Structure 1
Amino acid sequence: MGSFDTIVIGAGMSGVTAARMLADAGHRVVVLEGRDRIGGRMHTDREAGFPVDRGASWIHGIDGSPLWDLVQALRIPTIEYTVGSFQVGGRPIENFDGDGRPMGSDVTARWIDDVDAVDRLLVDEIAASSPGDTYLDVTERALDRSGLTPERIDDIREFFRHRVEEQCGAWIGDLDAHGLDEDAIDGDEVIFPHGYDEVPRRIGAGLDIRFETTATKIVRSTGGVTVHAGDTAFTADQVVVTVPLGALKAGSIEFEPALPEAVAGPVARLGMGVFNKVFIQFDQRFWNEDSYVLRALGEAGEHWHSWYDVSAVSGLPTLLTFAAGPLGRRMQELPDEEVVADVVRALRALYGDAVGEPRAHWVTHWGDDEFSNGSYSYLALGSTHHDHDDLAGPVDGVLHFAGEATWGDEPATVGAAYYSGRRAAERVLGRTVDLDGFAARIIEREQKEAR
């Protein structure tokens, strides 16, 4: 019998969810967290007096989403913002052509039709693909069949590359042909005007969380587990490991005995993408009030291509752009000021002198983050969707894994983290956990605290 019933490693969304569900069931739980805060890759920076979500921002599709149900039950305010799925149309988007000129409505309509037509061909190519085919391979085959002019093909080729970067944080040639199969989004998307980390912070309130305590070794035996964090050892009957895939791939935790192939294989095969955010705030808005996105297509958008208007959060004109995949890795090696200057140059190529000097900026470096080594998982060439779920274990009945990378239905999302945390708790408990009751208990505890 260990000092605890369960040790949870990581206080991100999956970790606090599993820990809270186990604690609610009467388990003695301790959470070991290397950072000095709850949330992991959900990181809301409030230093400026308003929230800046450096990590996760969106719920991608609220229809039939238990995560959305939780957010509503906790009465956390949201703003509808349906573009995180890298749409080609459907919302007000200011498009610029390959020469940086604004596109009129006729040209825009043709562009949307082009992408829709090639996307339909792409579905067939993915279905007919062979093991070893990358997403680059299948997009090229679809483009070859499209019959479009070379110039229109070039614009769609660039769009496909950026879509993979934004969805996966990876280069299109590293993604498996089936890498975007699970990316269908049902319903609107929302962002959080008060910051997304309110969700894990409220779930985790009152848990025994040991901050700045980094697990380095897990020893398992038939009698349970011992987790080493520096000079301290914690023992328990079971352990739930929720560190990001990037940390597992880097070998930041030693497992004794070594992980079996059933789990080690998925760790090796799945990819960890890099997706960095650049927020830039201006004194004056130089784009249309109702535009969701400013987007440069083709050559004009080779590097910086999509700017999202997130002014609603701070009330100040603010654009969010992304450096993902190879660009994300390169950019995080430069000083933030250089990155911001480069983004502003790209905007001035489209809007000219109307683009003023930035008043503030925020730049993330997830690929350099010692606790995540990247932003989120993706289906690298040679991996399959089964690898995500296989990664969850359990191993020897005592070692469980949770986190976005362990949930095959919608990896790389906060929803995946939440659902995988629940699955881990249920496997430890040997029974299902009711999500309505889970939310109700959070509210009940908060009301008790307030009295």
Structure 2
Amino acid sequence: MEHFDTIVVGAGVSGLTAARLLTRHGRRVLVLEARDRVGGRVSTDHRLGRATDMGASWIHGVTDSPVAAAAEAFGMRTVEFTVGGYQPDSRPIAHYGPDGVRLSAEAAASYVADIHAVDATLRDVVAESAPDASYGDVTEQALAAQGWDEERTQRVREYLEHRSEEQYGAWIDDLAAHGLDDDSIDGDEVVFPDGYDILPRRLAEGLDIRLTHEVSRVLWSPDGVVVDTDFGSFGADTAIVTVPVGVLQSDEFVIEPPLPEPVAGALTGFAMNAFEKVFLRFATKFWDDDVYVIRQQGPEGRWWHSWYDLTALHDEPTLLTFAAGPAAVETLHWSEERIIESVLEQLRRLYGDRVPKPTHVHVTDWQDDPFSHGSYAYMTVGSRTEDHDTLATPIGGVLHLAGEATWTDDPATVPAAMFSGHRAAANVLGRDVPIEDAWAERTATD
């Protein structure tokens, strides 16, 4: 059985960051990856001569972002596209009312002001909420405090429901009251016209990575770890496990002995979401040139309510929408054709016969992915914000968990994955190391 200083399970950004740092600081590291590629939930489709990011797409705020620094070091081209935390304004947004007619500038400003008023109230309501409160509970309390009529209240209620879905792929009553506390956007947001997957491919350079090695068991003891795969077993002094929460919670992935407290308890506070992307490319652009986002209110927007204009990425008319939360669950086993017709029906409410058939379509299927069981993790009702960091508590001096769900500050993002990989590497080394060593050209030594 081959023996290493450290085995990293998972070649996503978290695992690659940890492996690269450890390797550059003199450790012999093996990375085991179940997929036939690196990147995990950073996945880019390069068919048809263009890059389509099926998983992670954005850097949500470039200020002090390690991903932005790594992208710059790797020469990754970026295009500014700031959408914020399902923001209602600050960038050109076309709001359409329940009747399918675009709101006037005055009506849109009034609607946005209502959202800001509720958010101002919501901060205090969330801070004072009970441990078992849902995001739905606190938003209803904040809405009631405004004293509005039902129509006005319903418009903002819909917005808050959609924000829960688009931020975390979860229905508002299933998300913990503090579930959106840690979302932060500092600086412009950017996307990658050449694909996000450049980042993991560059991080993977020079590492010992065994693809298509599906891990079934991690056996740990004070003496070290043994990792079982379909290609045999591997031993190491330490292990860093970076698989998604959905895999950690599955019966197909066994940690033995089972995770101790407080890690085990923290893990139960998370669930994988239902969040899929639908890309539609068109031969001609039928929507307005001056908008980032198209949004519709009312019951017709229950599922398809927001479309993001990605034309600037490849100079080709492109809209991105999301099947999130209940919409993603309901449409999971729909055919691609049925999903597209459902989306086009809503676009035609707003733009009529100007909406043609798309020339190309991409629809993701993360819920059925056996190596993730969803797109990313969210806090379930009753969980606590600190559960993120608790997941990363070192176990027995030999086992470490990392990944986007283990980082409290802006979880469910690629920066969170990178930061968590850095922390795990530092814990294995027993000292801090510069995160910049993960992408620096020079080779660091002890």
Matches of 1:275 and 1:399 in 2, distance apart? 30
**How far 1:272 sits from its partner (Å)?**
1.5
Residue deviations 1:208-262, cap 9 Å, x none? 1111101000111221100000250000101100000111112331111111121
**How far 1:385 sits from its partner (Å)?**
1.2
**How far 1:76 sits from its partner (Å)?**
1.3
Aligned-residue sequence identity (percent) comes to 50
Aligned to 2:241: 241
Matches of 1:283 and 1:112 in 2, distance apart? 33
Residue type of the alignment partner of 1:161: E
Matches of 1:394 and 1:72 in 2, distance apart? 32
Matches of 2:213 and 2:337 in 1, distance apart? 33
Aligned to 1:374: 374
Aligned to 1:262: 262
Aligned to 2:355: 355
Kindly indicate whether the alpha-carbon contact (under 8 Å) linking 1:31 and 1:210 is maintained by their aligned counterparts in 2.
Answer: yes
Residue 410 (str. 1) matches residue 414 (str. 2): no
Q: Give the alignment's Cα RMSD to 1 decimal.
A: 1.5
Matches within 5 A, 1:133-212: 133-212=133-212
**How far 1:98 sits from its partner (Å)?**
1.1
Residue 327 (str. 1) matches residue 327 (str. 2): yes
Residue deviations 1:115-135, cap 9 Å, x none? 011111111211221111111
Runs (4+) of structure 1 moved beyond 3 Å?
none
Secondary structure of residue in 1 paired with 2:148: coil
Matches of 1:141 and 1:135 in 2, distance apart? 10
**How far 1:73 sits from its partner (Å)?**
2.4
Matches within 5 A, 1:49-448: 49-441=49-441
Matches of 2:387 and 2:273 in 1, distance apart? 16
Aligned to 1:449: none
Unaligned runs of 5+ in 2: none
Matches of 1:390 and 1:39 in 2, distance apart? 25
Matches of 2:435 and 2:389 in 1, distance apart? 21
Secondary structure of residue in 1 paired with 2:395: coil
Shift in CA distance, 194/231, structure 1 to aligned 2, threshold 3 Å:
closer
Matches of 1:181 and 1:328 in 2, distance apart? 24
**How far 1:53 sits from its partner (Å)?**
0.2
Residue type of the alignment partner of 1:411: P
Matches of 1:413 and 1:252 in 2, distance apart? 25
Matches of 2:192 and 2:81 in 1, distance apart? 10
Matches of 1:37 and 1:122 in 2, distance apart? 42
How many equivalent pairs are there? 444
Kindly indicate whether the alpha-carbon contact (under 8 Å) linking 1:98 and 1:155 is maintained by their aligned counterparts in 2.
Answer: no
**How far 1:435 sits from its partner (Å)?**
2.7
Q: Higher mean Cα deviation, 102-111 or 246-255?
A: 246-255
**How far 1:64 sits from its partner (Å)?**
2.2
Secondary structure of residue in 2 paired with 1:261: coil
Aligned to 1:448: none
**How far 1:438 sits from its partner (Å)?**
3.3
Secondary structure of residue in 1 paired with 2:235: strand
Kindly indicate whether the alpha-carbon contact (under 8 Å) linking 1:58 and 1:84 is maintained by their aligned counterparts in 2.
Answer: no
Aligned to 2:23: 23
Secondary structure of residue in 2 paired with 1:441: coil
Matches of 1:437 and 1:408 in 2, distance apart? 22
**How far 1:298 sits from its partner (Å)?**
2.4
TM-score by length of 2: 0.97
The structure whose residues are more often helix, as a share, is: 1
Matches of 2:274 and 2:13 in 1, distance apart? 19
Residue type of the alignment partner of 2:144: D
Matches of 1:300 and 1:333 in 2, distance apart? 21
Matches of 2:231 and 2:317 in 1, distance apart? 48
